[in-house]
């Protein structure tokens, strides 16, 4: 198990095959009468984690990142990645075949306008692009004097000889005590919010939440890959491969909806279109193929945000109780790991992979872990300066003096966790202590903030950066992302970021994770999960909210420069550590308990 997590991306994609695979794809495109093809890193639901059968970008180019897109023309090809992967992409692709470009600074649309020949036909798979994406790509092709062409089937699949089969993970019923609301109630709430004749549910997370089911079709997130249609009147229809359903699960779902095979979806949309129905679609996840099927038959589409995302984001009392229980259990596992790490790291024999393996072992020993919630970021030295670094057998470094960063999480039936701790190995430098303390000040500022109802994450994001800004520093990622309830560890629409426009509401779970990265030297990140909660303030004239921190694990005081902290910041840290010690001590072994007592001493005691 451990070995498979850290094997090279070469198992499916390998840069040395890029030229041959691109050549085979070009021959297939020539046979189909098109001059190029667009290959996004996507499946039919725009999932963050996709099944192996949908890893077309990885297979073709060798790029193993979680986001990217390639465009292959007859005489050139390019791969576009965002700022997280500008260092990774050139190392993983054959740059003689695929030119790595920045997704934002040099977007695919501009490249297409420049390089698609006049009269050229650029193919795309309408199952892998949203309507908005198709519109932008079509506009670029038109500007180039060419045409965007929908393909009946994906040409990459035609040349991918050993392509894995589509997943058939078993669908399970999510236990009522973890859901806190039955599916009939959720369906009724969705219906009440729909302004059209019905809603097409394309986000697999939304399907899982709506029907209180979970699955095993992708890594790290318990998703059943499925679609649904929820009409304003009449029974919903769930489109899921019947081979995933046990008799008991089928009986449960049949009590809520008509259960059909996925192959029926297009035909049903065409029937609804012929009836003149107007259906709502999720702009972020709906495949263009679905809106096209409805429109071509005479129906009307409303593409935008759906009510499901906000409903799912605001956790009910049962989900919050489960999240707190999951974080308590997870915190004990992390504390055991941190104590173990402090014993083993000074010996000089640990590697990044060994550390990640150890933490997963401690989580599995809880007896409750279903899966890790994302590939652990286990990073030493210069690798810790790569915010989304993913350790492999080739990249794994020995853990030496300096800084070690580990960002990891677990999937438990009662909750999803995500935590980052930055750990000193040996005596940290003055620069490390300064930067760590500035990151900690930002973390504490977010943890303590009070804000009015209606405020968004964009309005508080600067608080996480102010201590860094004061020194002319910053970090390039958002401060926080939403987290699901035994679902995605990266759940929208709530986030703390410059682009976080969604109002924060009670029950939302969000990460608090400011950082700092000195390229080629070291990186720092401190991450806890927090829950939006109501705050009572005497004399308040408005409804006010704040955050409850639910992650429980020590923050390394050896990296703190105390003189940079205010008295109130020290008081917050000391109170947090006292809470961590009280909560976790009964759950860990004696050796860890002794370590925990020392690790959670007051800052004044730790400085002695």
Rounded Cα distance, 262 and 228, in Å: 9
Same domain, yes or no, for 155 and 178? no
Is the omega angle on the peptide bond into residue 493 within 30 degrees of 0, that is, cis? yes
Same domain, yes or no, for 212 and 276? yes
Q: What is the largest CA-CA distance in the chain?
A: 77
Q: What does the pLDDT average to over 277-301?
A: 98
Residue 164 lies in a domain: no
- Worst-scoring range by mean pLDDT, 79-88, 437-446, 507-516? 79-88
pLDDT of residue 15: 78
Query: How many Å separate Cα 556 from the centre of its chain?
Result: 26
Q: For residue 80, which of 55, 102, 110 has the smallest C-alpha distance?
A: 102
pLDDT of residue 443: 98
Reply yes or no on whether the pLDDT at 11 is more than 90: no
Share of the chain above pLDDT 90, in %: 92
Q: Looking at the 3D structure of the chain, how many domains does it have?
A: 3
Q: Give every CB contact of residue 582 below 8 A, 6+ residues apart in sequence.
A: none
Residue 250 lies in a domain: yes
Same domain, yes or no, for 516 and 388? yes
Rounded Cα distance, 345 and 84, in Å: 28
Same domain, yes or no, for 554 and 573? yes
- DSSP states along 246-262: -HHHHHHHHTTSEEE-G
Reply yes or no on whether the pLDDT at 10 is more than 50: no
End of a domain among 294, 309, 324?
A: 309
Of 65 and 141, the one with more pLDDT: 141
Q: Sign of dihedral through CA atoms 305, 548, 384, 218?
A: negative
Same domain, yes or no, for 194 and 217? yes
User: CB neighbours (10 Å) of residue 356?
Assistant: 24
Same domain, yes or no, for 393 and 378? yes
Q: What is the pLDDT of residues 194-241, one digit of tens each?
A: 999 999 999 999 999 999 999 999 999 999 999 999 999 999 999 999
Q: Which CATH number is 479's domain given?
A: 3.90.230.10
Sorting pLDDT into bands at 50, 70 and 90, what band is 393?
confident
Q: What does the pLDDT average to over 151-170?
A: 97
Rounded Cα distance, 187 and 560, in Å: 50
Q: Sign of dihedral through CA atoms 56, 60, 63, 67?
A: negative
Same domain, yes or no, for 182 and 66? no
Upper half-sphere CA count for residue 207 (Cβ side, 13 Å): 29
Same domain, yes or no, for 325 and 241? no
- For the record, the structure tokens of 317 come out as 């009392």
Q: What does the pLDDT average to over 504-529?
A: 97
Residue 389 lies in a domain: yes
Q: What is the pLDDT of residues 12-70, one digit of tens each?
A: 667 788 899 999 999 999 999 999 999 999 999 999 999 999 999 999 999 988 899 99
The terminus-to-terminus CA distance of the chain in angstroms comes to 43
Same domain, yes or no, for 305 and 320? no
Reply yes or no on whether the pLDDT at 5 is more than 70: no
Q: For residue 231, which of 186, 298, 277 has the smallest C-alpha distance?
A: 277
Domain residues for the domain of 211 are 172-309
Instruction: State which H helix or E strand residue 302 sits in.
Output: strand 300-304
Residue labelled with tokens 């992409």: 89
Q: For residue 190, which of 254, 236, 227 has the smallest C-alpha distance?
A: 236
Q: Which CATH number is 225's domain given?
A: 3.40.350.10
User: CB neighbours (10 Å) of residue 367?
Assistant: 6
Same domain, yes or no, for 150 and 194? no
Same domain, yes or no, for 243 and 353? no
pLDDT of residue 607: 77
pLDDT of residue 3: 47
Query: How many Å separate Cα 591 from the centre of its chain?
Result: 35
Residue 165 lies in a domain: no
**65 touches 88 (CB < 8 A):** yes
End of a domain among 105, 129, 159?
A: 159
End of a domain among 159, 186, 210?
A: 159
Reply yes or no on whether the pLDDT at 8 is more than 70: no
User: 513: alpha, beta or left, given left = phi > 0 and alpha = psi -120 to 50?
Assistant: beta
Same domain, yes or no, for 142 and 190? no
Q: What does the pLDDT average to over 160-183?
A: 97
Q: What does the pLDDT average to over 568-584?
A: 98
Rounded Cα distance, 401 and 101, in Å: 35
**296 touches 304 (CB < 8 A):** no
Residue 231 lies in a domain: yes
Share of the chain above pLDDT 70, in %: 98
Residue 167 lies in a domain: no
Mean pLDDT of the chain: 95
Residue 166 lies in a domain: no
Sorting pLDDT into bands at 50, 70 and 90, what band is 6?
low
Residue 568 lies in a domain: yes
């Amino acid at each position: 198990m451990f070995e498979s997590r850290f094997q090279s991306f070469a198992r499916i994609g390998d840069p040395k095959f890029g030229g041959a695979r691109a050549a085979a794809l070009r021959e297939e495109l020539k046979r189909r009468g098109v001059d190029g093809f667009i290959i996004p890193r996507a499946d039919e639901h725009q999932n963050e984690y996709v099944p192996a059968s949908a890893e077309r970008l990885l297979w073709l180019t060798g790029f193993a990142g979680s986001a990217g897109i390639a465009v292959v023309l007859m005489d050139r090809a390019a791969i576009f990645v965002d700022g997280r992967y500008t260092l990774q992409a050139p190392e993983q692709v054959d740059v003689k075949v695929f030119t790595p470009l920045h997704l934002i600074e040099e977007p695919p649309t501009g490249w297409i306008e420049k390089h698609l020949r006049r009269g050229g036909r650029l193919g795309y798979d309408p199952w892998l692009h949203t309507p908005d994406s198709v519109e932008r790509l079509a506009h670029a092709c038109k500007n180039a004097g060419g045409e965007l062409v929908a393909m009946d089937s994906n040409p990459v699949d035609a040349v991918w000889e050993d392509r894995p089969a589509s997943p058939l993970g078993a669908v399970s019923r999510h236990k009522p005590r973890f859901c806190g609301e039955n599916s009939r109630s959720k369906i009724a709430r969705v219906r009440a919010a729909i302004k059209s004749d019905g809603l097409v549910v394309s986000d697999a997370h939304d399907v899982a939440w709506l029907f209180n089911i979970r699955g095993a079709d992708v890594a790290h997130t318990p998703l059943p890959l499925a679609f649904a249609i929820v009409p304003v009147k009449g029974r919903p229809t769930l489109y899921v491969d019947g081979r995933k359903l046990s008799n008991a699960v089928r009986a449960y779902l049949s009590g809520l909806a008509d259960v059909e095979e996925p192959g029926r979806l297009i035909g049903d949309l065409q029937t609804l279109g012929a009836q003149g129905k107007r259906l709502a679609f999720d702009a972020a996840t709906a495949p263009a193929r679905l809106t096209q099927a409805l429109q071509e038959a005479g129906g009307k589409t409303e593409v935008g945000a759906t009510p499901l995302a906000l409903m799912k984001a605001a956790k009910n009392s049962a989900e919050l109780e489960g999240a707190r229980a999951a974080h308590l259990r997870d915190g004990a596992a992390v504390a055991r790991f941190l104590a173990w790490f402090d014993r083993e790291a000074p010996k000089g024999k640990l590697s990044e992979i060994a550390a990640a393996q150890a933490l997963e072992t401690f989580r599995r020993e809880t007896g409750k872990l279903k899966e890790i919630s994302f590939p652990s970021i286990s990073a030493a030295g210069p690798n810790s300066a790569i915010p989304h670094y993913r350790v492999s057998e080739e990249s794994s470094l020995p853990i030496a003096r300096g800084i070690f960063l580990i960002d990891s999480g677990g999937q438990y039936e009662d909750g999803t966790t995500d935590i980052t701790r930055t750990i000193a190995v040996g005596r940290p430098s003055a620069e490390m202590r300064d930067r760590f303390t500035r990151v900690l000040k930002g973390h504490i500022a977010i943890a303590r903030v009070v804000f009015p109802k209606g405020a968004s994450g964009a309005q508080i994001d600067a608080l996480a950066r102010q201590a860094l800004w004061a020194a002319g520093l910053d970090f390039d990622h958002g401060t926080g992302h939403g987290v699901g309830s035994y679902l995605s560890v990266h759940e929208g629409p709530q986030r703390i970021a410059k682009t976080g426009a969604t109002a924060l509401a009670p029950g939302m779970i969000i990460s608090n994770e400011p950082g700092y990265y000195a390229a080629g030297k070291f990186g720092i990140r401190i991450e806890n999960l927090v829950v939006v909660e109501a705050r009572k303030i005497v004399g308040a004239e408005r409804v006010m909210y704040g955050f409850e921190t639910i992650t429980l694990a020590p923050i390394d005081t050896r990296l703190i420069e105390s003189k940079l902290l205010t008295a109130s910041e020290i008081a917050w840290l000391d109170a947090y550590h006292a809470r961590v010690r009280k909560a976790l001590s009964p759950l860990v072994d004696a050796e860890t308990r002794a370590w925990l007592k020392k690790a959670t001493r007051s800052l004044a005691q730790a400085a002695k």
